[in-house]
């Protein structure tokens, strides 16, 4: 056994070198995360350049990993007849208080329909209208039977010739001469450490859940909107490599069906449900607009004013619709069907209560993530980002993640033409390897401390109470945020010395909590910096309640200096990335 605090010592490193199997891999492109964006990036790269070696590393198994594990019953970013990439951009801007990266949203919009059709060609069933077109569920939505969406995508990856390393958790980028030249990772199945050298890396690891205390506690704590296994690993890796991040402060809070945290869109748009409060009033018209943040905010305010709970009422639906709705939920969120059964009711039997989730840090609904250019290149050479981990383009959803995966793959293919092959030993010297080996496996060798769940609880308590969680109606103020900042620094120090893992499963969880704490620290700096309220509830400053376009129509970005443990905030103009 190695004593606490001894990690990194010669003795510890020698022990690790003898006990951990070290595997070196060399490929052209590594993709971190085999979810929506990562899989599409992988297939796109391989299709465009069959001789390029592409490796996906995935913490779970690509057949059911990421946000689409359970399925999805609509494509929420598709341009139905009459819609254009420009009208999509206008909608996203309007919904996001005007501040978005227009170049990113537009380049997504240009690809939405093509990637959707590709999904259909892979075998996903789309519901059609009487003209044989996709059945619209709104201006930018179409209905699908999406239970098997992830197995379908995974099969396309398998058939494309891409190599997949399942049950492999990425821990850090390998940075060599100012460029990302690979990825460190470890296996969740055996004591194996991977040194993967590559010419380019595409990060598609998703956003972060588990930063805030969730709606449900104890036995149901993971009954949540976002994939609870997306913990911001790619964000933390990017931060540690000095990549610039944007708009963490635009958190995303989902409006969901109470308890089961099932989607509301299925009935709000798919069954024209009425949104009512406990008095039966259509409360939304009381609020400034009907944007996505304000729909969340309205529910919070109705409850504060004593007019809660709020409901989605679709009791007007005919009996014949009950079965269709149950099937739609089975294809995405089967817990809802269990809820109706347990309540001994049919879907049209009574209105369903809605709630607002804990905040998440995501780039697919909100716009937190890597600061990338139009080609999805990050501020660090050789590193590209797509999907929920990429910032600046909210409301991209599944098809937007595909579009970004495709763009990132195209850019990475261009980039690697300029990179000469390096051997694995060239990119990662012994000193780097020893440091990362000790950092990654250290928790397995500690004899005193606390387990990952305990630190996760602490993190979520701090964030909930001091950084605008559910218990404070998402409201933020400077003194509490400063308190959170201090508590998080202390928590990070404790975790570095005392975090213990009994086995490889706990080691994965240990790194999840390490990465979440860094994401939370950067989030708090973003929340402190923006002194206005731009996005209701998502970024609700009790001490600066108004929106101030004069001062704050700009992006709040950040860079972390890991050698000094300092987070620096950078302002970028609000018109950054506007296409002329």
Strand partners, 370: 245, 390
Distance of alpha carbon 31 from alpha carbon 554, whole angstroms = 31
Q: Indicate which single residue of 102, 103, 143, 147 sits in contact with another protein (rule: CB under 8 A).
A: 147
- Considering the complex, state which of residue 6 and residue 69 has its C-beta at the smaller distance from another protein: 69
Residues between 442 and 461 with contacts to another protein, criterion CB under 8 A? 453
Decide if residue 344 touches another protein (CB under 8 A): yes
- Considering the complex, state which of residue 234 and residue 394 has its C-beta at the smaller distance from another protein: 234
Q: Indicate which single residue of 6, 13, 69, 278 sits in contact with another protein (rule: CB under 8 A).
A: 69
Among the listed ranges 236-244, 338-346, 405-413, 563-571, the one in contact with another protein (CB under 8 A) is 338-346
Distance of alpha carbon 20 from alpha carbon 38, whole angstroms = 28
Helices then strands, each counted (H, E), the chain? 18, 21
Minimum distance from residue 555 beta carbon to another protein (Å): 32
Decide if residue 88 touches another protein (CB under 8 A): no
Number of residues that bind another protein (CB under 8 A): 49
Decide if residue 500 touches another protein (CB under 8 A): no
DSSP 8-state class, residue 131: T
The site string for another protein over 154-173 (x = CB under 8 A, - otherwise) reads -------------x------
Minimum distance from residue 50 beta carbon to another protein (Å): 25
Q: Indicate which single residue of 15, 93, 223, 554 sits in contact with another protein (rule: CB under 8 A).
A: 223
Decide if residue 177 touches another protein (CB under 8 A): no
- Considering the complex, state which of residue 323 and residue 531 has its C-beta at the smaller distance from another protein: 323
Q: Indicate which single residue of 23, 148, 419, 570 sits in contact with another protein (rule: CB under 8 A).
A: 148
Residue carrying the six token digits 């635009």: 250
Q: Indicate which single residue of 309, 335, 449, 574 sits in contact with another protein (rule: CB under 8 A).
A: 335
Among the listed ranges 13-21, 119-127, 248-256, 271-279, the one in contact with another protein (CB under 8 A) is 119-127
- Considering the complex, state which of residue 507 and residue 522 has its C-beta at the smaller distance from another protein: 507
Minimum distance from residue 128 beta carbon to another protein (Å): 12
Token pair in block for residue 30: 């590594």
Among the listed ranges 61-69, 285-293, 441-449, 561-569, the one in contact with another protein (CB under 8 A) is 61-69
Decide if residue 185 touches another protein (CB under 8 A): no
Among the listed ranges 3-11, 199-207, 225-233, 422-430, the one in contact with another protein (CB under 8 A) is 225-233
Please name which of 232, 194, 183, 243 lies closest in space to residue 514, comparing C-alpha atoms: 232
Please name which of 110, 100, 123 lies closest in space to residue 78, comparing C-alpha atoms: 110
Decide if residue 507 touches another protein (CB under 8 A): no
Decide if residue 485 touches another protein (CB under 8 A): no
Minimum distance from residue 303 beta carbon to another protein (Å): 19
- Considering the complex, state which of residue 337 and residue 437 has its C-beta at the smaller distance from another protein: 337
- Considering the complex, state which of residue 171 and residue 331 has its C-beta at the smaller distance from another protein: 331
Q: Phi/psi of residue 246, each to 5°? A: -130, 145
Among the listed ranges 90-98, 333-341, 427-435, 531-539, the one in contact with another protein (CB under 8 A) is 333-341
Q: Which residues contact 11 (CB under 8 A, 6 or more apart)?
A: 2
Q: Indicate which single residue of 61, 135, 307, 498 sits in contact with another protein (rule: CB under 8 A).
A: 61
Strands (E), 440-538: 475-476
- Considering the complex, state which of residue 177 and residue 342 has its C-beta at the smaller distance from another protein: 342
Token pair in block for residue 112: 């939405």
Residues between 189 and 218 with contacts to another protein, criterion CB under 8 A? 216-218
Contact 245, 558 (CB under 8 A): yes
Residues between 259 and 288 with contacts to another protein, criterion CB under 8 A? 259-260
Decide if residue 188 touches another protein (CB under 8 A): yes
Vertex 319: Cα angle to 315 and 320 (nearest 5): 125
Residues between 232 and 251 with contacts to another protein, criterion CB under 8 A? none
Taking 3-state DSSP, the helix, strand and coil percentages for the chain, each rounded to the nearest 5, stand at 40, 20, 40
CA distances from 565 to 23, 46, 47, 147, 480 (A): 30, 38, 41, 43, 21
Among the listed ranges 47-55, 64-72, 171-179, 238-246, the one in contact with another protein (CB under 8 A) is 64-72
Residues between 363 and 422 with contacts to another protein, criterion CB under 8 A? none
Q: Indicate which single residue of 229, 283, 360, 552 sits in contact with another protein (rule: CB under 8 A).
A: 229
**Greatest CA separation found in the chain?**
72
Distance of alpha carbon 215 from alpha carbon 260, whole angstroms = 10
Q: Is 416 helix (H, G, I), strand (E, B) or coil?
A: helix
Torsion from C-alpha of 185, 189, 190, 194, nearest 10 degrees: -20
Residue 51's Cβ-count burial label (10 Å; 0-12, 13-18, 19+) is exposed
Q: Indicate which single residue of 85, 138, 334, 449 sits in contact with another protein (rule: CB under 8 A).
A: 334
For 511-529, give the DSSP string. Answer: HHHHHHHHHHHHHHHHHHH
Q: Which residues contact 464 (CB under 8 A, 6 or more apart)?
A: 212, 213, 358, 470, 471, 472
Backbone region of residue 483 per phi and psi (left: phi > 0; alpha: psi in -120 to 50; beta: other values): alpha
Contact 125, 90 (CB under 8 A): no
Q: Indicate which single residue of 37, 152, 398, 520 sits in contact with another protein (rule: CB under 8 A).
A: 152
Decide if residue 320 touches another protein (CB under 8 A): no
Decide if residue 431 touches another protein (CB under 8 A): no
Q: Indicate which single residue of 21, 64, 128, 133 sits in contact with another protein (rule: CB under 8 A).
A: 64
DSSP 8-state class, residue 130: T
Token pair in block for residue 452: 């990952």
Please name which of 498, 486, 32, 8 lies closest in space to residue 237, comparing C-alpha atoms: 32
Residues found near another protein in the complex (CB under 8 A): 60-61, 63-66, 69-70, 123-125, 145, 147-148, 151-152, 167, 188, 216-224, 227-229, 259-260, 323, 326-327, 330-331, 334-335, 337-339, 341-344, 453, 505, 508
């Amino acid at each position: 056994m190695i004593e606490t605090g001894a990690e990194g010592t010669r003795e510890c490193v020698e022990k690790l070198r003898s006990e951990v199997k070290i595997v070196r891999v060399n490929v052209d492109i590594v993709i971190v995360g085999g979810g929506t964006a990562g899989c599409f990036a992988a297939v796109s790269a391989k299709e465009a350049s069959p001789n390029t070696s592409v490796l996906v590393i995935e913490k779970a198994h690509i057949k059911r990993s990421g946000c689409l594990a359970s399925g999805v019953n609509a494509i929420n970013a598709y341009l139905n007849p009459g819609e254009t990439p420009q009208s999509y951009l206008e909608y996203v801007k309007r919904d996001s208080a005007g501040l978005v990266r227009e170049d990113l949203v537009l380049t997504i919009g240009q690809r939405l329909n093509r990637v959707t059709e590709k999904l259909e060609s892979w075998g996903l069933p789309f519901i059609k209208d009487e003209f044989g077109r996709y059945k619209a569920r709104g201006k930018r939505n179409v209905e699908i039977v999406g239970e098997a969406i992830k197995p379908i995508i995974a099969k396309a990856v398998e058939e494309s010739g891409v190599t997949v390393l399942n049950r492999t958790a990425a821990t850090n980028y390998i940075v060599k001469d100012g460029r990302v030249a690979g990825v460190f990772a470890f296996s969740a199945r055996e004591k194996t450490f991977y040194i993967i050298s590559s010419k380019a890396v595409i990060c598609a690891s998703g956003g972060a859940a588990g930063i805030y205390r969730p709606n449900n506690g104890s036995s149901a704590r993971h009954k949540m909107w976002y994939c609870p296994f997306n913990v911001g690993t790619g964000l933390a890796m990017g931060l540690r490599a000095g990549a610039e991040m944007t708009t963490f402060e635009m958190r995303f809070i989902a409006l969901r069906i109470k308890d089961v945290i099932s989607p509301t869109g299925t009935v709000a748009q798919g069954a024209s449900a009425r949104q009512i409060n406990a008095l039966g009033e259509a409360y939304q018209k009381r609020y400034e607009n009907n944007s996505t943040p304000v729909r969340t905010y309205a529910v919070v305010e109705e409850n504060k004013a004593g007019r809660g709970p709020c409901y989605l009422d679709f009791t007007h639906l005919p009996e014949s619709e009950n079965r269709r709705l149950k099937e739609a939920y089975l294809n995405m969120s089967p817990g809802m069907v269990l809820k109706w059964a347990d309540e001994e009711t049919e879907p049209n039997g009574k209105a369903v209560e809605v709630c607002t989730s804990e905040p998440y840090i995501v780039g697919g609904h909100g716009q937190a993530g890597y600061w990338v250019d139009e080609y999805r290149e990050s501020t660090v050479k050789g590193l590209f980002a797509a999907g929920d981990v990429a910032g600046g383009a909210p409301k991209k959803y599944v098809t937007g993640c595909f579009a970004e995966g495709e763009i990132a793959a195209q850019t990475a293919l261009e980039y690697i033409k300029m990179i000469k092959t390096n051997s694995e030993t060239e990119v990662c010297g012994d000193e780097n390897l020893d440091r990362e080996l000790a950092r990654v496996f250290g928790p397995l060798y500690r004899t005193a401390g606390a387990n990952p769940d305990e630190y996760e609880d602490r993190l979520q308590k701090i964030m909930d109470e001091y950084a605008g969680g559910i218990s404070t109606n998402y409201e933020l103020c400077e003194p509490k945020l400063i308190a959170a900042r201090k508590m998080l620094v202390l928590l990070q120090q404790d975790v570095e010395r005392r975090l213990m893992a009994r086995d490889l499963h706990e080691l994965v969880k240990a790194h999840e909590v390490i990465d979440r704490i860094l994401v939370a620290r950067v989030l708090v700096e973003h929340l402190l910096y923006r002194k206005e309220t731009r996005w209701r509830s998502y970024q609700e400053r009790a001490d600066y309640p108004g929106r101030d376009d004069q001062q704050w129509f700009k992006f709040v970005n950040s860079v972390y200096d890991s050698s000094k443990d300092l987070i620096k905030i950078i302002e970028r103009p609000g018109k950054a990335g506007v296409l002329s």
